[in-house]
Amino acid sequence: MRRLRDQAAIVTGGARGIGRAIAARLAAEGAAVLIADLDGRAAEAAAAEIARGGAEAAGLRVDVALRASVEAAVAEAVRRWGRLDVLVGNAGIMDRMAFLEMTDDFWRRVLTVNLTGAFLSGQAAARQMVLQPEGGRIVFTASNSGVFGGRGRAAYGASKAGIINLVQSMAIELAGHGIRVNAVAPGPTRTHAGQPAELWPGVAQRMPLARYGTPEEIAAVAAFLAAPESSFVTGHVYAADGGYTAAGIMEG
């Protein structure tokens, strides 16, 4: 399928894991993709790999916590392709610390990258999209940790809960400009070989599909939300989590 032919996209945090899979999927769907990542060399390498497959891609070092940096990414996409149709705000960090031991620096770091980064990149993209007659689509990576509490996840969970509300608020305000805003919420996903091959028994017991998801499965949902098929969908969070949210996370 080439649902995104002649479209231009940015994927933040696109050099590795879920972000890289999303960038590859959007490129396979026909989009020209700017991979924006704090690791500029990894972003360029990911873009080069996509380009070898015949798609158009570029890599750029971007710090989503800095307004000037995300604005530069939007400007680069427009310079290259004349427009920005899709933003996938995937950049984020997942870290744990016990609540009673949590430091100010830890809290600020997680919230700044995950939530402030989503706000800054979303706003910069939307300000370009309102100039385009066709508007655009914004997709964030949320998490089921933004719906349920988890041990050691006060900062991470709060950041993802904030993204969920940000999606809803942006969707309401931007609908009149032809901009749709949604999120994909991954559950346990095997993003690198260092992870265990099997789910922890306690997690598997609370997960109907009882296995890890793959980055490509998350990317498929993100691509749907970025594509015309989801034209009547905005302000929603699509869980790609093997039924984990439906079963209830409890404490994992």
Coil vs helix vs strand at 111: helix
Q: Is 156 a catalytic residue?
A: yes
Identify whether the C-beta of residue 244 lies closer than 8 Å to the C-beta of residue 144: yes
Instruction: State the amino acid at position 18 in one-letter form.
Output: I
Strand partners, 111: none
The DSSP letter of residue 138 is E
Strand partners, 137: 86, 180
Identify whether the C-beta of residue 238 lies closer than 8 Å to the C-beta of residue 182: yes
Q: CA 17 from chain center: how many Å? A: 11
Q: Which of 156, 212, 238, 244 is catalytic?
A: 156
The DSSP letter of residue 15 is S
Identify whether the C-beta of residue 19 lies closer than 8 Å to the C-beta of residue 12: yes
By residue count, the chain amounts to 252
Instruction: State the amino acid at position 46 in one-letter form.
Output: A
What's phi and psi for 73, nearest 5 deg? -65, -45
- Which residues make Cβ contacts (< 8 Å) with residue 156, sequence separation at least 6? 94, 95, 96, 110, 114, 143, 145, 150
Strand partners, 86: 9, 137
Q: % helix / strand / coil in the chain, to the nearest 5? A: 45, 15, 35
Active site (catalytic) residues: 156
